[in-house]
């Protein structure tokens, strides 16, 4: 057993769920939480961690360090974590963008202790350890982005990958840059379209009773718009160039439809769109 | 009782559901279906109609004529229906756009028989009388667009409005032009954004395994993209100018976000979007 002590830094929805999921999957070692006193209290009550400690006391004792803070905090704390981590330990993170985090880690980490970037494709609109669930990762894709071309060859890495499987997630190995490009299309673009739609409709349909003249489509298409800006600020700030490119391509697609709503191009777009839906429904 | 015989012209999802809903709400009169032989057979089996007849045999006997075909067919058939309808009867339709239909009706109908445009805000991605349900209209908004400034003052109109209430829907009176403007934002724009998103993602994410790197957001935002082009051709063709304007405003909104992803404007859009969601959830 390479992993006996785990530190979860930032015990929110993801960090808390990771602790609960490890326990539910049979992890019998110690789980230390690093968070504000209020959050530690809630996480202890929820059973997501065994104890709370400051960063400097938690990291040196840990075989696995799980950074689950907002992206900007992960970037800030990485140098200190790399200094505190002990030989043989694995540091990983759960940030929604990977390029800046993995680049920063390349500058801090040498060979050992190890670093592997991570992104569990799980979550919900609500935040906080109070919403944490042991099965949040069930059936989810879990991207791992190593700083090099492959995962570090070490028992602690193999065991972490095994735990990801035990909590029900499916590992996809993807370089940080490729990850950030894919999620700009599959996650960041959908979010911004939803936000822009809700904001536009809110401006145009001012009479409250007229919102009754809406089918379920508007409701579906604006559900993501409930995500708070605070969750998205760091994502937009650390994947700016990819998001700009995706938006540019998307606006071109929309402009082409708009320029001739009676064209064959519109019919072709409906067919292409239906095809993507069929790919999505058979993606595994 | 002003309404004893109803003709449903086009017994698909909406027409068939209207027949089933009338029956479930206690309508004891006769329901005649006008459709292809295959559809009539399915509608009889489903219990949505009592008998099938050609248009020329059904309309002269009907107190209520319910046109539930595609928009282009409604436009084609209106002159003939206005000639066939008997004095005291009400002709209404269930088309998703109202301006062209109500304009056409103004040219065909004098005072009596009566015409009132309609749009039940109900439906699903699937079509056909096989999917028809008696509670399709439950809790739905039902827009009525009279050719004049108010509903015609006639017992048959009052009784039709009462039946809409009995099948569980809520009437909103809206001039055809206002209806078409509102739905360009609440229905047509969401559809085109979803189609354009699915089409774009399909082009960019060609590797099948990379679609696994998508959260539930992409799935939600592309659900509408399953709607077939055949359902949308007439809508895009009869509400072109409003849809173009909505797309232009939306593209401007998106372009503003894209031009400075770190700006206060982005934060403001997230706040505006959240506000629209709160309005949607308390809209009644």
Q: Per-residue pLDDT tens for A42-61?
A: 999 999 999 999 999 999 99
Q: What is the mean pLDDT of residues A171-196?
A: 96
Q: Are residues A98 and A197 in the same domain?
A: no
Quick one: angle between helices A229-238 and B264-281, nearest 10? 140
Is residue A253 within 8 A of residue A270, CB to CB? The reply is no
- Report how far residue A280's alpha carbon sits from residue B215's, in angstroms, rounded to the nearest whole number: 11
Judging contacts by C-beta atoms under 8 Å, the chain A residues touching residue B220 are 190, 220-221, 223-224
CB-closest option in B121, B209, B222 to A277: B222
CB-closest option in A203, A246, A270 to B195: A270
Position B271 scores a pLDDT of: 95
Q: Which residue of B has its CA nearest to A242?
A: B258
Quick one: angle between helices A229-238 and A71-84, nearest 10? 70
CATH number at residue A81: 3.40.50.720
Q: Which residue of A has its CA nearest to B236?
A: A261
Residues in chain A: 284
For chain A, how many structural domains are there in total? 2
Judging contacts by C-beta atoms under 8 Å, the chain B residues touching residue A250 are 196-197, 200, 254
Nearest Cα neighbor of A59 from A12, A5, A119 is A5
Provide CB contacts within 8 A for B232, sequence distance 6+. Answer: A270, B191
CATH number at residue B187: 1.10.3660.10
Three-class HEC string of B148-206: CCCCCCCHHHHHHHHHHHHCCCEEEECCHHHHHHHHHHHHHHHHHHHHHHHHHHHHHCC
Q: Above 60 in pLDDT, residue B256?
A: yes
Position B264 scores a pLDDT of: 83
Sheet holding A170-173, edge to edge: A51-52, A30-34, A5-9, A64-67, A90-93, A114-120, A141-145, A170-173
Whole-number average pLDDT of chain A: 94
Quick one: angle between helices A264-281 and B229-238, nearest 10? 140
Residues in chain B: 284
C-beta atoms of A190 and B217 within 8 A: yes
**B173-226 pLDDT, tens per residue?**
999 999 999 999 999 999 999 999 999 999 999 887 788 888 788 999 999 999
Q: Are residues B131 and B185 in the same domain?
A: no
Q: Above 90 in pLDDT, residue A261?
A: yes
Q: Above 70 in pLDDT, residue B125?
A: no
Query: Backbone phi, then psi, for A5, in 5-degree steps?
Result: -125, 130
- Report how far residue A29's alpha carbon sits from residue A31's, in angstroms, rounded to the nearest whole number: 7
Sheet strands (E) in A99-167: 114-120, 141-145
Position A217 scores a pLDDT of: 87
Q: Which residue of A has its CA nearest to B267?
A: A229
Nearest Cα neighbor of B130 from B47, B228, B29, B35 is B47
C-beta atoms of A198 and B277 within 8 A: yes
Judging contacts by C-beta atoms under 8 Å, the chain A residues touching residue B205 are 182, 185-186
Q: What is the CA radius of gyration of chain B?
A: 21
Q: What is the mean pLDDT of residues A158-186?
A: 97
Position A31 scores a pLDDT of: 98
CA distances from A92 to A7, A14, A67, A101, A105 (A): 11, 13, 6, 10, 10
Of A174, A199, A221, the domain-final residue:
A174
pTM: 0.92
Q: What is the mean pLDDT of residues A216-229?
A: 91
Sheet strands (E) in chain A: 5-9, 30-34, 51-52, 64-67, 90-93, 114-120, 141-145, 170-173
Taking the CA atoms of A200, A204, A208 and A212 in sequence, report the sign of the dihedral they define. Answer: negative
Q: Are residues A152 and A23 in the same domain?
A: yes
Q: Are residues B253 and B143 in the same domain?
A: no
CB-closest option in A141, A187, A220 to B224: A220
Work out the number of other CB atoms within 10 angstroms of the CB of residue B265: 15
Of A174, A206, A227, the domain-final residue:
A174
Q: What is the mean pLDDT of residues A226-246?
A: 95
Name the CA dihedral angle for A67, A72, A78, A80, rounded to a multiple of 10 degrees. Answer: -110
Is residue B88 within 8 A of residue B112, CB to CB? The reply is yes
CA angle B165, B167, B173 (to 5 degrees): 40
Q: Above 60 in pLDDT, residue B283?
A: no
Listed range (A141-145, B121-125, B145-149, B215-219) with the worst mean pLDDT: B121-125
C-beta atoms of A251 and B258 within 8 A: yes
Q: In terms of C-beta density within 10 A (0-12 exposed, 13-18 middle, 19 or more buried), how is residue A45 classed? A: exposed
C-beta atoms of A202 and B236 within 8 A: no
Q: Are residues A208 and A67 in the same domain?
A: no
Tell how far CA A28 is from the center of its chain. Answer: 26
Q: What is the mean pLDDT of residues B255-275?
A: 92
C-beta atoms of A187 and B254 within 8 A: no
Q: Are residues B18 and B155 in the same domain?
A: yes
Q: Are residues B57 and B109 in the same domain?
A: yes
Is residue B163 within 8 A of residue B63, CB to CB? The reply is no
Of A139, A174, A209, the domain-final residue:
A174
Q: Are residues B80 and B195 in the same domain?
A: no
Nearest Cα neighbor of A121 from A104, A103, A102, A138 is A138
Position A100 scores a pLDDT of: 98
C-beta atoms of B193 and A221 within 8 A: yes
Query: Going by DSSP bridges, is the β-strand pair A30-34/B30-34 parallel, antiparallel, or unpaired?
Result: unpaired
Interface test with A, best of B94, B143, B180, B185 (most A CBs within 10 A): B185
Taking the CA atoms of B121, B94, A268 and B251 in sequence, report the sign of the dihedral they define. Answer: negative
CB-closest option in A204, A236, A283 to B262: A236
pLDDT band at B263 (very low <50, low <70, confident <90, very high): confident
CB-closest option in B228, B244, B276 to A199: B276
Position B262 scores a pLDDT of: 83
ipTM: 0.91
Is residue B192 within 8 A of residue B248, CB to CB? The reply is no
Q: What are the residues facing B37 on neighbouring strands?
A: none
The range of the structural domain enclosing residue A267 comes to 179-281
Q: Are residues B92 and B183 in the same domain?
A: no
Q: Are residues A165 and A256 in the same domain?
A: no
Distance of residue A95 Cα from the nearest chain B Cα, in angstroms = 14
Judging contacts by C-beta atoms under 8 Å, the chain A residues touching residue B248 are 258
Q: In terms of C-beta density within 10 A (0-12 exposed, 13-18 middle, 19 or more buried), how is residue A190 classed? A: buried
Q: Are residues B40 and B165 in the same domain?
A: yes
CB-closest option in A121, A190, A247 to B213: A121
Q: Are residues A144 and A52 in the same domain?
A: yes
Q: What is the mean pLDDT of residues A169-197?
A: 96
Tokens linked to A110: 């040498």
C-beta atoms of A220 and B222 within 8 A: no
Provide CB contacts within 8 A for A123, sequence distance 6+. Answer: A13, A14, A136, B215
């Amino acid at each position: 057993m390479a992993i006996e002590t785990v530190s979860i830094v930032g015990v929110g929805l993801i960090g808390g769920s990771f602790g609960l999921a490890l326990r539910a999957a049979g992890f019998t070692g110690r789980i230390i939480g690093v968070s504000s006193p209020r959050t530690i209290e809630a996480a202890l009550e929820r059973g997501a961690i065994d104890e709370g400690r400051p960063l400097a006391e938690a990291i040196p004792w840990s075989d696995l360090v799980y950074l689950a803070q907002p992206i900007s905090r992960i970037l800030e704390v990485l140098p200190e974590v790399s200094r505190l981590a002990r030989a043989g330990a694995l540091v990983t993170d759960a940030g929604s963008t990977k390029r800046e985090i993995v680049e920063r880690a390349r500058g801090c980490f040498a060979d050992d202790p190890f670093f592997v970037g991570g992104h569990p494709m799980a979550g919900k609109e609500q935040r906080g350890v109070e919403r944490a669930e042991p099965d949040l990762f069930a059936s989810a894709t879990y991207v791992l982005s190593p700083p090099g071309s492959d995962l570090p060859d070490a028992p602690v890495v193999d065991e972490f990958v095994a735990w990801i499987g035990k909590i029900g997630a499916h590992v996809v190995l993807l370089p940080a840059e490729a990850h950030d490009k894919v999620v700009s299309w599959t996650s960041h673009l959908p979010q911004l379209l939803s936000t822009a739609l809700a904001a536009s409709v809110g401006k145009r349909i001012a009479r409250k009773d007229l919102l009754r003249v809406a089918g379920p489509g508007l409701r579906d298409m604006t559900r993501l718009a409930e995500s708070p800006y605070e969750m998205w600020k760091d994502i937009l700030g650390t994947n700016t160039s990819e998001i700009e490119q995706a938006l540019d391509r998307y606006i071109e697609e929309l402009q082409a439809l708009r320029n001739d709503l009676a064209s064959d191009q519109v019919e072709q777009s409906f067919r292409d769109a239906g095809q993507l839906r069929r790919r999505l429904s058979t993606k595994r």
